[in-house]
Amino acid sequence: MSAARTPIRNPAGEDATGKGRVFKAELDRRRFVQAGAAAGLTLGFTPHVLARLNTAGTSSAADAAKSFAPAAYIRIDASGTTLIVHRSEMGQGARTSCAMLLAEELELPWEEIRIEQADGDPKYGNQNTDGSTTVRLNWQPLREAGAAARTMLVAAAAQGWDVAAGECRAEAGRVLHAGSGRSATYGELAAVAATLDVPEKPMLKDKKDHKILGTPRALVDVPDIVRGQAVYGIDVVRPGMLYASIERCPTIKGTLGSLDPEAALAVPGVKKVLPLEGAAQPFNLNAGVAVVAENTFAALKGRKALQIEWKTGEGLESSGAFRDKLQQLVDGDGKPFRSEGDFAAAKAAAARTLSASFHGPHLVHAPMEPLAATAVVTDEGCEIWAPCQDPMTARQRVAAALELDLAQVTVHVTLLGGGFGRKSKPDFILEAAKIAQQMKGTPIKLTWTREDEVRHGFYRAQNAQKLEATLDESGRLTGWRQHTAFPTILSTFMPGATDPSGFELGMGLTNLPYRIPSIQLESSGIASDVRIGWLRSVCNTFHAHAVNCFVDEIAEAAGKDPVQWRLEMLGEPRKLEFSDRDKPYGLDTGRLSAVIRRCAEVSRWGEKTLAEGVQRGFASHFSFLTYVAATLDASLDEEGKVKVHEVDLVVDCGTVVNPDTVRAQMEGAVVFALSMAFFGEITVENGAVQQSNFHDYPMLRIDQMPRVNVEILDSDAPPSGVGEPGVPPIAPALVNAIAKLTGKRVYDLPLTRAGLA
Amino acid sequence: MAIRMKVNGEERVFDIDPDTPLLWALRDTLGLTGTKYGCGMNRCGACTVHVDGRARRSCILPISRLEGREIVTIEGLSPDGGHPVQKAWEKINVPQCGYCQPGQIMSASALLAETPQPSDEQIDGALQVNICRCGTYQRIRLAVHEAAAELAGETDGEAR
């Protein structure tokens, strides 16, 4: 598949004004005509607000002059068509998928598209690239934007040729009139199209006519990536830039005791040492001391020479005691959030009961690109270049912290070298802006080391769960009780928040899909002394883990095959109504059963003769509105360490935009999940994280990579999440395989704790 | 004390702290940002470059030890991105976020220079220094085989 050329470039020094559009992707051979140079069409929608369509305008400068200027995803001028992608790219294919949605309806030849990365701006609607929502939220508005533009271009051509619009059609960036053989490019039609009314409900193409959607497309940035030309946040270069590194207090609420900067200032190339105060939520910054220098190495060397004493605080969180507290919580009664039937009665009447407690540690994101941001503060305001998942929140926080108007803060979004939720937090951007504020006029690039990233994260929360099941004489499950306890993500935004929120409990627990006569779900909160954040798949990882492992135990107790048990307990297809971020959604148990059934078929569950010493585990999970089932084959080596050989994964994510991206995300999810299950563990001692780099927070490597087979089920349902749903079923499938290998169930992750990895 | 070396075929003189790791000299001094920082301690391979034709981790190599050596970075691997490994990476659509991929490509190209037809085990052995957090390992293996086939002149044009 040939890739469109859509580079994010870093033309250091080219931009004399310092205010240029460095991260506006541009084709060298098709440079965008600057503001005012040509009349054109700018089109876009704030999601679902067609009435606010911008019908005219030539460029960003012209847009700014229009009071009604809304989001703008398409710009057409004499030089051609530019697609504006407002979601961040971190490897999940956002830039490619958004461009596919626009290009399909706009009838653009894929090989010739050009893309701009949008700055943070409310006119684009929701830019917070998290929750596996890019395609989900933009499937309709981006197609409608493309269709509206196409309709207007056709109308413009028809008007010019004085023929009926119905006699004209758009194709490959042109409008054609079959009767006369006339044709015009979109660029030629843009000025007239801009004067026309925007269709209120533009006609979308039929699925059978799709040329781009549903076909595998390479990510648009691949040509730049393989040439070393892709620009991530850490790669930004600005004229006259200095480099910064920050030594931070080991605890989030600690403060600076004493600082002697002399030795650091004596390091050649070091320009400044700047103490930075910590900040409470929502800014949520560690206290630190920044070293600003002529290059990164000098900044790092200066940082090592700093003489600092921190007041870290006493009696803060330590992982062992934290685990005990979590266990005490789940041993007691929690706050009920879903109750059906009468669990106490089921327990009293049970022929047999099962009980198990599960534990999972804090986890850190470890994207390959650590955090980095470049900021310059001038009398006009603050301009930022950063690999951020959420540029609007970054803008708002910087404006508030620097006491600027929102309009004075610009955030350019670079490529992200991985995100996994970490880069949705603007702390590193705020730090860069605060340093730049004290060095007005000088662009400052702040680079975090790996150690900084591991020690100053927003962690996936350490957690515990207790599960109880009641069975009758025939082994039938009559009752299910599950108590989950973890520090809530809300604590990151609101001081004092401790209770798990509905949306966290909704991730794999409230929506427990099995038909069980009595269900009792409870939660407990606990305060943590580290920052809690979302990490790929969030609470689904531990909820799906406990549910799937416990299901296998119950099936075994009942003498049933675990796949058969799941299908029986799901029963006839039902639509269960839940809500996600206050929006209702349905969980279709028929779709869940379908991925389970298909996964059993493709993996030849129960039929395939596995190699000697190999055992197979199974798990399934619904998350981000997507259904996934997976089998996993594993064995033990001579040292008793687990080796994973093969994973068969079946996914139903509704209508598929880019099947190659779906496959890639599922393959990657397996690796992400196995890294977590094998090694992932952040421990804390008196509020300070003990790990620091890949030697003590290891990742799966290529020699541990299993073969991953992905099947995507055909579906006409609306598109659902892709980036995250592949992760949750993998660890429980692994642990279910281990139970067969060793005869023992693992209740604590990671596997290193039991010597299995 | 200036340190001289050849970078991507050009003579370069570094008049900076001789303790500076090659990684930062390439990125900050020469502006060659294709070579990435990932760990700073020889644990992730994102900074892999060729030193006299062999894959080395530039984050732990002070420039003081590189006088007169020949360095090739991702930007210099081929004039136009046409190295068989780069072509295979595009064809198989290996990258996700792409941040580790320059390092993966430099490790893979060094492997193929020594072992033109590597087995999966040899690929794993040479590339296990390179972490990919996005998890593209399966495609990396495929792409190395694809590049090996092209180098041997037997590419069938349909790897996947």
Last residue of a domain, one of B76, B106, B121: B76
Last residue of a domain, one of A400, A418, A447: A447
Other Cβ atoms less than 10 A from the Cβ of A559: the count is 9
Answer whether residue A707 is part of any domain: yes
- Mean pLDDT value across residues A477-489: 98
Same domain, A732 and A611: yes
Taking only residues 76 to 115 of chain B, the set having a beta carbon closer than 8 angstroms to any beta carbon of chain A reads: 81, 86, 89-90, 93-102, 105
CB contact under 8 A, B37 and A268: no
Same domain, A413 and A430: yes
Mutate to test the interface with B, among A422, A647, A702 (most CBs of B within 10 A): A702
Domain CATH for B41? 3.10.20.30
Q: Using N-to-C axis directions, what is the helix angle for B137-151 and B120-127, rounded to 10°?
A: 110
Same domain, A269 and A410: yes
Q: Are strands A255-260 and A307-311 parallel, antiparallel or unpaired?
A: antiparallel
Contacts of A219 in chain B (CB under 8 A): 93, 95-96, 98
Same domain, B72 and B119: no
Same domain, B102 and B72: no
Sign of the alpha-carbon torsion through A713, A714, A717, A722: positive
Same domain, A729 and A659: yes
Task: Quote the domain boundaries for residue A602.
Answer: 332-364+458-754
Same domain, A443 and A556: no
What whole-number distance in Å separates Cα of residue A152 and Cα of residue A144?
Answer: 12
Contacts of B143 in chain A (CB under 8 A): none
CA distance A305 to chain B (A): 15
Residue B27 has what DSSP assignment?
I
pLDDT band at residue A19 under the 50/70/90 scheme:
very low
Q: Does A46 touch chain B (CB under 8 A)?
A: no
Judge whether residue A152 has pLDDT over 50.
yes
CB contact under 8 A, A10 and B138: no
Secondary structure (DSSP) of A520-566: EEEEE----SS-B---TTTTHHHHHHHHHHHHHHHHHHTT--HHHHH
Judge whether residue A20 has pLDDT over 60.
no
Identity of the residue in A297, A447, A671 whose CB atom sits nearest the CB atom of B135: A671
Buried b (16+ CB within 10 A) or exposed e, A577-605: ebebeeeebebbbebbbbbbbbbbebbeb
Same domain, A416 and A514: no
Residue A65: which residues within 8 A CB-CB, separation 6 or more? none
Answer whether residue A463 is part of any domain: yes
- Mean pLDDT value across residues A375-394: 97
What whole-number distance in Å separates Cα of residue A454 and Cα of residue A697?
Answer: 8
Same domain, B107 and B127: yes
Q: Does A388 touch chain B (CB under 8 A)?
A: no
Mutate to test the interface with B, among A227, A374, A537 (most CBs of B within 10 A): A227
Q: Does B41 touch chain A (CB under 8 A)?
A: yes
Please give the mean pLDDT across all residues of chain A: 91
What whole-number distance in Å separates Cα of residue B29 and Cα of residue A296?
Answer: 10
Residue A247: which residues within 8 A CB-CB, separation 6 or more? A288, A289, A291, A303, A306, A308
Residue A499 C-beta-side C-alpha neighbours within 13 Å: 8
Residue A393: which residues within 8 A CB-CB, separation 6 or more? A128, A424, A426
- Mean pLDDT value across residues A323-334: 98
Same domain, B68 and B96: no
What whole-number distance in Å separates Cα of residue A700 and Cα of residue A245?
Answer: 28
Last residue of a domain, one of B37, B56, B76: B76
pLDDT exceeding 90 applies to what percent of chain A? 86
Contacts of B133 in chain A (CB under 8 A): 366-368, 418, 420, 672, 675, 699
Answer whether residue B142 is part of any domain: yes
CB contact under 8 A, A671 and B75: no
pLDDT tens per residue, range A291-323: 999 999 999 999 999 999 999 999 999 999 999
Same domain, B45 and B71: yes
What whole-number distance in Å separates Cα of residue A27 and Cα of residue A6?
Answer: 6
Please report the pLDDT score of residue A9 as a whole number.
Answer: 54
Same domain, A271 and A398: yes
Same domain, A144 and A240: no
Identity of the residue in B19, B44, B141 whose CB atom sits nearest the CB atom of A368: B44
Contacts of A660 in chain B (CB under 8 A): 93
Q: Are strands A168-171 and A372-377 parallel, antiparallel or unpaired?
A: unpaired
CB contact under 8 A, A664 and B136: yes
pLDDT tens per residue, range A603-624: 999 999 999 999 999 999 999 9
Contacts of A1 in chain B (CB under 8 A): 93
Same domain, B70 and B106: no
Q: Extract the tokens encoding A692.
A: 């620091």
Same domain, B132 and B97: yes
> Is residue A642 within 8 Å of residue A614, measured between CB atoms?
no
Looking at A130-274, list the stretches that DSSP marks H as alpha helix, in order from N- to C-terminal side: 134-161, 186-193, 222-226, 262-265
Taking only residues 84 to 103 of chain A, the set having a beta carbon closer than 8 angstroms to any beta carbon of chain B reads: 89-93
Same domain, A284 and A378: yes
Last residue of a domain, one of A196, A226, A256: A226
- Mean pLDDT value across residues A622-634: 97
User: Rounded to 5 degrees, what are φ and ψ at A708?
Assistant: -120, 125
Answer whether residue A29 is part of any domain: no
Q: Extract the tokens encoding A9.
A: 């470039």
Number of compact structural domains in chain A: 3
pLDDT band at residue A10 under the 50/70/90 scheme:
low
Taking only residues 52 to 71 of chain B, the set having a beta carbon closer than 8 angstroms to any beta carbon of chain A reads: none
pLDDT tens per residue, range A177-235: 999 999 999 999 988 888 888 888 899 999 999 999 999 999 999 999 999 999 999 99
Same domain, B72 and B9: yes
Mutate to test the interface with A, among B26, B105, B133 (most CBs of A within 10 A): B133
Alpha-carbon A646 to chain mean position: 25
Taking only residues 127 to 156 of chain B, the set having a beta carbon closer than 8 angstroms to any beta carbon of chain A reads: 127-128, 130-141
Same domain, A514 and A568: yes
Answer whether residue B156 is part of any domain: no
Answer whether residue B72 is part of any domain: yes
Answer whether residue A266 is part of any domain: yes
Domain CATH for A676? 3.30.365.10
CA distance B82 to chain A (A): 9
CA distance A560 to chain B (A): 34
Answer whether residue A452 is part of any domain: no
Same domain, A728 and A707: yes
User: Rounded to 5 degrees, what are φ and ψ at A400?
Assistant: -65, -45
Other Cβ atoms less than 10 A from the Cβ of A712: the count is 16
Q: Does A369 touch chain B (CB under 8 A)?
A: yes
pLDDT tens per residue, range B52-77: 999 999 999 999 999 999 999 999 99
Task: Quote the domain boundaries for residue B16.
Answer: 3-76
pLDDT tens per residue, range A532-561: 999 999 999 999 999 999 999 999 999 999
Secondary structure (DSSP) of A574-633: -EEEEEETTEEEEEEHHHHHHHHHHHHHHTTTTTS-PPTT-EEEEEEEEETTEEEEEEEE
Contacts of A418 in chain B (CB under 8 A): 97, 99, 133-134
Last residue of a domain, one of B76, B107, B131: B76
Answer whether residue A22 is part of any domain: no
pLDDT band at residue A79 under the 50/70/90 scheme:
confident
Please report the pLDDT score of residue A42 as a whole number.
Answer: 67
pLDDT tens per residue, range B87-126: 999 999 999 999 999 999 999 999 999 999 999 999 999 9
pLDDT band at residue A565 under the 50/70/90 scheme:
very high
CB contact under 8 A, B28 and A1: no
Number of compact structural domains in chain B: 2
Same domain, B58 and B105: no
Same domain, A528 and A618: yes
Last residue of a domain, one of A170, A202, A226: A226
CA distance B131 to chain A (A): 6
Mutate to test the interface with A, among B99, B106, B140 (most CBs of A within 10 A): B99
CB contact under 8 A, A368 and B131: yes
Contacts of A701 in chain B (CB under 8 A): 128, 130-131, 137
pLDDT exceeding 70 applies to what percent of chain A? 90
Mutate to test the interface with B, among A226, A667, A694 (most CBs of B within 10 A): A226
CA distance A461 to chain B (A): 20
Judge whether residue A473 has pLDDT over 60.
yes
Same domain, B26 and B69: yes
Please report the pLDDT score of residue A580 as a whole number.
Answer: 72
> Is residue A734 within 8 Å of residue A741, measured between CB atoms?
no
